[in-house]
């Protein structure tokens, strides 16, 4: 009930309008069907006779992780087709991006069957080994995750994570 009241007390909450939606009970008459949250809590809310509009919504807002940091993704290199573009062009474009963020801490990730993360100090890489049937995308994501955890642990706020060394 506490969660319901928190949502209903803040009218700009993304869930505000969806939580009260109560489809017909017949849809959830089967024992293995779980009714939506609003349908399950409605009887308790009605019995408690609490008006969520009377709850103060002026509490201190804790920012979500995505709001806490200015995160940018630069995908300018994907405008080049790998088949039609020489390696030198890729290197030049990447060098320009790297120069733009020279003051930032840099980390290199490698997503193969092992996910590597190399901070500026190459003597201290972090590594996770994957099963042979793992795919490259999981390894890339794990490498990025290792880098983000490293920067958070070291309290480094300005950083660039790349998969090009």
Q: Which two tokens stand for residue 119?
A: 């901070």
Query: Does one domain contain both 105 and 54?
Result: no
Q: Looking at the structure, tell me whether residues 70 and 51 fall in a common domain.
A: no
User: Range of 72's domain?
Assistant: 66-162
Higher pLDDT, 147 or 21: 147
The residue among 20, 44, 61 that closes a domain is 61
Query: Into how many domains does the chain fold?
Result: 2
pLDDT digits 0-9 by tens, 36-69: 777 778 788 788 877 766 666 565 667 666 666 6
- Position 53 scores a pLDDT of 66
The DSSP element (H or E) to which 117 belongs, if any, is strand 114-118
User: Which DSSP helix (H) or strand (E) runs through 162?
Assistant: strand 159-162
SS3 124: coil
Q: Is the pTM above the cut of 0.85?
A: no
Average pLDDT across the chain, whole number: 75
Query: Element (H or E) spanning 28, and its range?
Result: none
Q: Are residues 151 and 74 in the same domain?
A: yes
Q: How far apart are CA 109 and CA 111, in angstroms?
A: 6
């Amino acid at each position: 009930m506490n969660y319901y009241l928190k949502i209903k007390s803040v009218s700009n909450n993304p869930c505000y309008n969806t939580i009260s939606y109560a489809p017909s009970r017949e849809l959830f008459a089967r024992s293995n069907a779980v009714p939506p949250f609003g349908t399950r809590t409605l009887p308790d809310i009605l019995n408690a006779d609490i008006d969520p509009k009377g709850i103060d919504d002026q509490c201190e807002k804790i920012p979500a992780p995505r709001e806490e940091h200015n995160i940018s993704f630069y995908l300018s290199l994907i405008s080049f087709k790998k088949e039609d573009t020489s390696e030198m062009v890729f290197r030049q474009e990447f060098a320009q991006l790297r120069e733009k963020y020279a003051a930032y801490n840099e980390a290199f990730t490698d997503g193969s069957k092992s996910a590597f993360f190399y901070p500026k100090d190459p003597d201290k890489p972090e590594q996770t080994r994957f099963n042979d049937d793992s795919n490259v995308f999981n390894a890339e994501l794990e490498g990025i995750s290792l880098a983000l955890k490293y920067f958070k642990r070291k309290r480094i706020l300005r950083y660039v994570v790349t998969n090009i060394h």
